[in-house]
């Protein structure tokens, strides 16, 4: 929203709904400029953060001149956000910082919103993008796209055996691998765009038009064409690759963790562990976190630039699933049937939560950590991320062994033999959380006099 026809050199308060989020001076012609771009509003170097509790839907931007009370309003839509690849982002932090519907206070009310039965063998992780939930079924050999709100089938692609990996969505395409090919499909229709023959294929990671895949060696593949950009022989790798700041991080069966240049594949460093590394790394704040497998019970924290060991923490058994990192805490589960919360800087144990089976990759959002377990425990859990207190759990025969997605007030998970589930608050509570705000009356808005106005921008729109 940009104003024209205001008083010259006047102070204008900008409100998001009823909150004064910034102020701006008009120029000598009574003009100011305001560029709107979620999740922030940018105006002449001033970044005004949209409130974290802004739910998806229609909101209002209001401008009010402080002295004369001249006013103008425009509607602004906050779009729902996505969980487009394994563990949320290319760094595989497993942390959605935008979730604001589910909280430690209400997550105990989670209920099944829908369930889509694929037939069996649902160990593929779930990702959510542009209103669709994507997952694979290795028994029937299909990739599914389901309406994220209702669970209705949009399309399926019957490609053959699909391993227990997650798809990734970017630039209108969905990518996934099976035991012999890497696929790119139109994300809206399921039409095949291209496929590559690879020895095997892990969960793909998408960054800046390039797919990074562990398929024995590490591959970098042009996401638009499927052409191989480079490959690096890491000694056997199947875990999900993390990519951060131009570096690809990979675990390997040769007991090493590798850091490779994302553009060229050149080796930057490698770190040798006590066993093969099947866990996918997670990268946050300049540190790589990864779990050891094959008798190596350690969680490792390495300097992302140099590979130097910062700390390691010994759990009770091997770690085959990826950690999550959020708000200075590393969450990691292992085959010793515990979920651990470790200080991300020091490795000190903050708390641990005991289950009756192997713990899979956790996901964190808005003060809650979610994870699934295998048989015989067969539970999906929600814990307080700060204390480890149990907030909610759900039993499902055969358990939940795949990657989760937590987005827009919903938790998406694959029950191993019962299809994909979407959990949310009961309908009435969801409606209350998603209700759009009422249009504010500009005359009733109160300016924040402590805000320091910025200068005008010459990008006028009519008032």
Q: Supply the DSSP string of 300-312, one letter for each residue.
A: EEEETTT--EEEE
- Asked if residue 462 has pLDDT above 50, the reply is no
What single DSSP character describes residue 444? G
Report if residue 381 sits inside a domain: yes
Report if residue 151 sits inside a domain: yes
Nearest of 341, 338, 381, 370 to residue 357 by alpha carbon? 338
CB atoms within 10 A of CB 277: 31
Mean pLDDT, residues 120-126? 73
- Asked if residue 43 has pLDDT above 50, the reply is no
Model confidence pLDDT, tens digit, residues 159-199:
666 655 789 999 999 999 877 788 999 999 999 999 988 87
Report if residue 57 sits inside a domain: yes
Give yes or no: residues 10 and 131 share one domain: no
Alpha helices by DSSP H, 33-102? none
Domain that holds residue 69: 3-79
Tokens of 392: 């909610």
What single DSSP character describes residue 435? P
Which helix (H) or strand (E) is 434 found in, with range?
helix 427-434
The Cα 346–Cα 334 span in angstroms is 19
Mean pLDDT, residues 219-230? 96
Question: Which range, 40-44, 267-271, 291-295, is most confident?
Answer: 267-271
Report if residue 441 sits inside a domain: no
Cis peptide before 376 (omega within 30 of 0): yes
Report if residue 392 sits inside a domain: yes
Report if residue 448 sits inside a domain: no
Supply the pLDDT for residue 433: 64
Give yes or no: residues 18 and 125 share one domain: no
- Asked if residue 42 has pLDDT above 60, the reply is no
Q: Are 368 and 326 in contact (CB under 8 A)?
A: no
Give yes or no: residues 130 and 178 share one domain: yes
DSSP string, 306-358: T--EEEEEE-SS---S--EEETTEEEEE-TTSEEEEEETTT--EEEEEE-SS-
Mean pLDDT, residues 121-147? 85
Supply the pLDDT for residue 376: 82
Q: Are 175 and 223 in contact (CB under 8 A)?
A: yes
The Cα 272–Cα 300 span in angstroms is 11
Mean pLDDT, residues 48-72? 79
Which of 23, 49, 79 delimits the end of a domain? 79
What single DSSP character describes residue 106? T
Tokens of 219: 């591959």
Instruction: Please give the biggest Cα pair distance in the chain.
Output: 73
Give yes or no: residues 49 and 141 share one domain: no
Pairing of strands 95-96, 363-365: parallel
Give yes or no: residues 67 and 142 share one domain: no
What is the pTM assigned to this prediction? 0.83
In whole angstroms, how far apart are CA 172 and each of 38, 84, 130, 175?
Answer: 20, 11, 9, 10
In whole angstroms, how far apart are CA 263 and each of 229, 232, 244, 266?
Answer: 9, 12, 12, 8
The band of 35, judged by pLDDT with boundaries at 50, 70 and 90, is very low
Give yes or no: residues 201 and 52 share one domain: no
Nearest of 315, 415, 316 to residue 375 by alpha carbon? 415
Q: Which residue has the higher pLDDT, 61 or 267?
A: 267
Which of 22, 55, 79 delimits the end of a domain? 79
Place of tokens 């100011």: 32
Give yes or no: residues 262 and 363 share one domain: yes
| CA 439 to mean position of chain CA atoms | 31
- Asked if residue 396 has pLDDT above 50, the reply is yes
- Helices (runs of H) and strands (runs of E) counted in the chain: 1, 42
Report if residue 87 sits inside a domain: no
Tokens of 436: 């759009």
Q: Interior CA angle at 448 toward 443 and 449, to 5°?
A: 110
Give yes or no: residues 104 and 177 share one domain: yes
The band of 122, judged by pLDDT with boundaries at 50, 70 and 90, is low
> What CATH number is associated with residue 241?
2.130.10.10
Place of tokens 């560029």: 35
Model confidence pLDDT, tens digit, residues 326-336:
999 999 998 89
Mean pLDDT, residues 114-143? 83
Give yes or no: residues 28 and 116 share one domain: no
Q: Interior CA angle at 338 toward 337 and 343, to 5°?
A: 155
Give yes or no: residues 52 and 133 share one domain: no
Report if residue 427 sits inside a domain: yes
What is the number of structural domains in the chain?
2
161, burial (CB in 10 Å: exposed 0-12, middle 13-18, buried 19+): middle
E-strand stretches of 198-274? 205-207, 210-214, 216-222, 228-237, 242-244, 247-251, 256-261, 267-272
Give yes or no: residues 73 and 105 share one domain: no
Supply the pLDDT for residue 347: 98
Mean pLDDT, residues 208-227? 94
């Amino acid at each position: 929203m940009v104003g024209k026809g205001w008083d010259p050199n006047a102070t204008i308060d900008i409100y998001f709904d009823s909150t004064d989020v910034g102020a701006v001076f008009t120029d000598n012609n009574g003009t100011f400029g305001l560029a709107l771009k979620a999740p922030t509003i940018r105006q002449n170097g001033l970044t005004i953060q949209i409130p974290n509790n802004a739910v998806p839907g229609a909101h209002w931007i209001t401008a009010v001149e402080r002295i004369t009370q001249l006013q103008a309003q425009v509607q602004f839509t906050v779009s729902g956000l996505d969980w487009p690849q394994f563990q949320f982002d290319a760094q595989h932090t497993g942390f959605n910082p935008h979730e604001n519907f589910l909280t430690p206070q209400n997550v105990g009310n989670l209920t099944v919103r829908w369930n889509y039965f694929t037939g069996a063998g649902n160990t593929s992780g779930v990702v959510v993008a542009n209103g669709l939930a994507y997952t694979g079924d290795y028994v029937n050999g299909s990739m599914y796209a389901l309406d994220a709100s209702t669970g209705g089938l949009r399309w399926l692609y019957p490609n053959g055996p699909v391993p227990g990996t997650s798809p990734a969505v970017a630039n209108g395409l969905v990518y996934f691998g099976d035991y012999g090919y890497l696929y790119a499909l139109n994300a809206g229709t399921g039409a095949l765009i291209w496929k590559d023959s690879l020895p095997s294929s892990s969960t793909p990671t998408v960054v800046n038009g390039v797919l990074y895949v562990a398929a024995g060696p590490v591959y970098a593949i042009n996401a638009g064409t499927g052409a191989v950009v480079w490959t690096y022989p890491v000694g056997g790798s199947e875990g999900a690759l993390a990519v951060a700041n131009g570096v690809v991080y990979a675990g390997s069966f040769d007991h090493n963790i590798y850091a490779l240049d994302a553009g060229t594949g050149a080796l930057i460093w490698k770190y040798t562990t006590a066993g093969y590394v099947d866990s996918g790394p997670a990268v946050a704040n300049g540190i790589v976190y990864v779990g050891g497998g094959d008798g190596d019970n350690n969680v490792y924290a390495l300097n992302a630039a140099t590979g130097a060991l910062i700390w390691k923490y010994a759990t009770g058994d091997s770690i085959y699933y990826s950690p999550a990192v959020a708000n200075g805490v590393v969450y990691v589960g292992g085959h010793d049937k515990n979920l651990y919360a470790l200080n991300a800087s020091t490795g000190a144990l903050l708390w641990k939560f005991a289950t009756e089976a192997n713990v899979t990759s956790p996901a964190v959002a808005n003060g809650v950590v979610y994870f699934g377990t295998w048989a015989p425990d067969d539970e999906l859990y929600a814990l307080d991320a700060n204390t480890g207190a149990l907030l909610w759990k759900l039993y499902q025969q055969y358990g939940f062994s795949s990657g989760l997605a937590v987005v827009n007030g919903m938790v998406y998970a694959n029950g191993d033999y019962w299809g994909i589930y979407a959990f949310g608050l009961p309908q009435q509570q969801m409606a209350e959380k998603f209700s759009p705000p009422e249009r504010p009356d500009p005359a009733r808005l109160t300016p924040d006099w402590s805000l320091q106005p910025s200068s005008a921008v010459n990008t006028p729109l009519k008032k």
